[in-house]
Structure 1
């Protein structure tokens, strides 16, 4: 009997989604409610569970396909043999009959789909070690790409037989990470309880059943990443989420409690330097802390340096009187928030002003591809966001077609997801122009670096009251310096200055945006 897997309800006003990742492939055995794939909408990420146990017979909607509500995603062939791996968990003697052919089967753990244009990743953390028992979809390790962190689940239940890619190693998109002996861990329920009794000794009143139940709770991905960065294990963190789930805030509390022991950890065994370094006095070395550069930070460094080495980068400056924008905000911010449910900020004005200017100077919105110049008849606006792990640039797609309220909502949503480490690959790809706001940190003036392969980036800065001359009179006005960095290979000085002047005009007199002047 064949069972259909269809797109679930996606939420109010959401009519379609994109198939982001398949966790199973045709021929794989699946359990009821086991996650089959992940869908992405313009608002949320939706996981699709298996409606019944069996074998994944066919995938109808492939990764990258756009599907509507109730669309057919896959077919599951119902099978009475699918739940069989659960039988060996009753005792160690059970495998001889039905599991005999499964116990010796090794299943490769491969690098999952990393996203468009991402060809490699770094193994940042292994959550399991060789010999540990693992459940289906239990997290084995975490990979870092130049944009996001990717968690790798176990494809089957069993025992982790071999780790092929160690922590810190770089792997390509089709590499093997580990080998899981399928079914070998299925008989480990008894021994697992015994092993976990040792963990329960430190927690009076906690028996094996309590610990085993806790292991079935999936901690928040952001919490796992925070634990890896802080060097904490799940046993050192008390979860405050549902069923004891560890949240990111719990990790912060645990890390603060362990702060007194940090100096000893820091000076224990420093990693060897990547490059020769001048001798450091012993008393200074004891007070230093050496931390391996994360994949994200290393990629940021490489891409920024590549931008300087590749593009003929030049920056031009101007200043803008923010009085008109601030007057509009003060007049309408209350009504705006009541109607749209989002606060009126400055960013929507800058996005609109840039979209307006890009129409007149399209080369700033273009890119060089070999010997060609690719002009884009759309604006996918990148908005640089600072996060605890580094700078990321989520993209507001088709920003030139969006209203002020829609832009503010989208930027707020992307900013929150960026700080929580929940941005998807698709949300950080395809930008055609970028805005970076150093003013939120107090920067008065800077020269932003291009985000390749884009040809332009606008730098916003701190709004500061300064004396300026208006109609022959010296007055105090809220002024902001603007900086446009551009690729001089494709954008001439005249075009860059014209772009910046149009942005300035639109901000100093927002009525020009309505009149398309």
Structure 2
């Protein structure tokens, strides 16, 4: 039975997607729910799985192709194909590799009246790349290897040869050109747009992390036991302090919609997560009602999903405020860029022991610089500074977070 494999239904905010990786090739056996293909959108990578036991019979959209919502991208044949997969001949395998190579390769072969079997494929699974065909046309003497029984070569008499003098200069100067992914391209456009469209300004402060570090040290073992292995980190304190400060300064918890200012009566905080594909900002929802343990569990869950490419569009949408932690990479001070349409973003940085004045004495304290970037069109400097000072005060006296004072 032949089944159409379609791209997922994209929401209104996503116009189309790009075929990222085909994990199965025509003729290759797969089981129900095996991953067939990854489709990358502007926000997340969506997975398409096998509808039944069987195999792909045809790929209609190669890697790099742009596809629309519910567009047919492949044909699938249901049934037991294990025996058929083992019986694929070399000729059929070559055809499969060529079929997956894309229209550019087929067009080039056709225009030059060239037999694909003569070209050595260097792509994944032996598929032909455009560069393979171009290289063959430049040097036709290089042909594809032919599988034959090994024959012992005659032993030639040793010939004295002159070894080339060792080179004193650099021997490897290579470059690699990689197309920008949709996610990376979208990140770039959003960051540039935020800088060009918003009246972005950044205010800085610093916080003494001694109280929170002492609290963690005292209760981390009990906390972990009480909450089934959940560890007490710094992020939960910052998220909780931000939620409390957002209640007091509604403009920081707002967003712009055209000429309208939208003030949110809830705190959905986006947490920046770095992945191999780029930076993503999944959302912790209703943070004001969450405990420290709930926040820690939520952050770990979102980070795990993000790094595995399992985030959904729902995980990414919304958010009234963003927190990003460059400190985990060693950043001492930076200026975070707004996550539009939000009006503010908090940047955390690395903890560093520094001399500070305390009661007329110079003491060494673990200090962290904080940065709040905000849209001056909606937030006055007074509110932005007081918001950041509020977060500082809550962190330096954590009991105030719990007492909401």
Q: TM-score range by the shorter chain?
A: 0.7 to 0.9
1:367 alignment partner, one of 255, 262, 278? 255
Residue 185 of structure 2 aligns with which residue?
298
Matched, 1:195 2:88: yes
Q: Give the SS at the match of 1:377.
A: coil
Q: How big is each residue's C-alpha offset from its partner over 1:95-120, in whole Å with a ceiling of 9 and x where there is no partner?
A: xxxxxxxxxxx754332123462222
Task: Kindly report the root-mean-square deviation, in angstroms, between the aligned alpha carbons of the 2 structures.
Answer: 3.3
Shift of 1:174: 4.1
Q: Give the SS at the match of 1:422.
A: coil
1:147 alignment partner, one of 19, 27, 43? 43
Q: Distance in 1 between matches of 2:296 and 2:31?
A: 42
Matched, 1:396 2:284: yes
Residue 10 of structure 2 aligns with which residue?
114
Indicate the larger mover: 442-451 or 391-400. 391-400
Q: Distance in 1 between matches of 2:85 and 2:215?
A: 64
Is 2:26–2:55's contact at 8 Å kept on the other side of the alignment? Answer: no
Q: Distance in 1 between matches of 2:289 and 2:30?
A: 48
Q: How big is each residue's C-alpha offset from its partner over 1:407-459, in whole Å with a ceiling of 9 and x where there is no partner?
A: 11111222222222222222222111111010011100000111121111100
Residue 513 of structure 1 aligns with which residue?
401
Is 2:328–2:349's contact at 8 Å kept on the other side of the alignment? Answer: yes
Mapping of 1:423-442 within 5 angstroms?
423-442=311-330
Shift of 1:362: 0.9
Is 1:115–1:426's contact at 8 Å kept on the other side of the alignment? Answer: no
Q: How big is each residue's C-alpha offset from its partner over 1:101-160, in whole Å with a ceiling of 9 and x where there is no partner?
A: xxxxx7543321234622221111234556878876665432111232222345576763
> Cα–Cα, structure 1 residues 338 and 137, in superposed 2: closer, same or farther, change >3 Å?
closer
Q: Distance in 2 between matches of 1:464 and 1:286?
A: 39
Is 1:319–1:482's contact at 8 Å kept on the other side of the alignment? Answer: yes
Is 1:319–1:504's contact at 8 Å kept on the other side of the alignment? Answer: yes
Residue 239 of structure 1 aligns with which residue?
none
Larger Rg: 2
> Cα–Cα, structure 1 residues 430 and 196, in superposed 2: closer, same or farther, change >3 Å?
farther
Q: Distance in 2 between matches of 1:167 and 1:330?
A: 50
Residue 64 of structure 2 aligns with which residue?
168
Q: Give the SS at the match of 1:434.
A: strand
Q: Give the SS at the match of 1:316.
A: strand
Matched, 1:406 2:307: no
Indicate the larger mover: 133-142 or 374-383. 133-142
Is 2:16–2:68's contact at 8 Å kept on the other side of the alignment? Answer: yes
Mapping of 1:185-334 within 5 angstroms?
191-195=84-88, 286-334=173-221
> Cα–Cα, structure 1 residues 324 and 114, in superposed 2: closer, same or farther, change >3 Å?
same
Q: How big is each residue's C-alpha offset from its partner over 1:216-239, in whole Å with a ceiling of 9 and x where there is no partner?
A: xxxxxxxxxxxxxxx755x9xxxx
Q: Give the SS at the match of 2:207.
A: strand
Q: Distance in 1 between matches of 2:88 and 2:315?
A: 43
Matched, 1:452 2:340: yes
Matched, 1:125 2:12: no
Q: Give the SS at the match of 2:265.
A: coil
Shift of 1:492: 1.3
> Cα–Cα, structure 1 residues 376 and 285, in superposed 2: closer, same or farther, change >3 Å?
farther
Matched, 1:385 2:282: no
Mapping of 1:478-493 within 5 angstroms?
478-493=366-381
Q: Distance in 2 between matches of 1:197 and 1:369?
A: 59
Q: Give the SS at the match of 1:195.
A: coil
Which stretches in structure 2 are left out of the alignment for 5+ residues?
A: 93-122, 135-169
Q: How big is each residue's C-alpha offset from its partner over 1:54-103, in whole Å with a ceiling of 9 and x where there is no partner?
A: xxxxxxxxxxxxxxxxxxxxxxxxxxxxxxx5xxxxxxxxxxxxxxxxxx
Matched, 1:500 2:397: no
> Cα–Cα, structure 1 residues 332 and 130, in superposed 2: closer, same or farther, change >3 Å?
closer
Residue 111 of structure 2 aligns with which residue?
none
Q: How big is each residue's C-alpha offset from its partner over 1:12-46, in whole Å with a ceiling of 9 and x where there is no partner?
A: xxxxxxxxxxxxxxxxxxxxxxxxxxxxxxxxxxx
Is 2:28–2:85's contact at 8 Å kept on the other side of the alignment? Answer: no
Q: How big is each residue's C-alpha offset from its partner over 1:189-228, in whole Å with a ceiling of 9 and x where there is no partner?
A: 76544217999xxxxxxxxxxxxxxxxxxxxxxxxxxxxx
Is 2:29–2:82's contact at 8 Å kept on the other side of the alignment? Answer: no
Q: Distance in 2 between matches of 1:193 and 1:131?
A: 9
Q: Give the SS at the match of 2:88.
A: helix
Q: Distance in 1 between matches of 2:215 and 2:323?
A: 21
Q: Give the SS at the match of 1:497.
A: helix
Is 2:267–2:287's contact at 8 Å kept on the other side of the alignment? Answer: yes
RCO greater where, 1 or 2, for CA within 8 Å and sep 6 or more?
A: 2
Q: How big is each residue's C-alpha offset from its partner over 1:489-516, in whole Å with a ceiling of 9 and x where there is no partner?
A: 2111111111101001101112222332
Shift of 1:406: 1.1
Which stretches in structure 1 are left out of the alignment for 5+ residues?
A: 1-84, 86-105, 200-230, 236-264, 271-282
What is the number of equivalent residue pairs in this alignment?
337
> Cα–Cα, structure 1 residues 331 and 175, in superposed 2: closer, same or farther, change >3 Å?
same
> Cα–Cα, structure 1 residues 423 and 284, in superposed 2: closer, same or farther, change >3 Å?
farther
Q: Distance in 2 between matches of 1:353 and 1:449?
A: 21
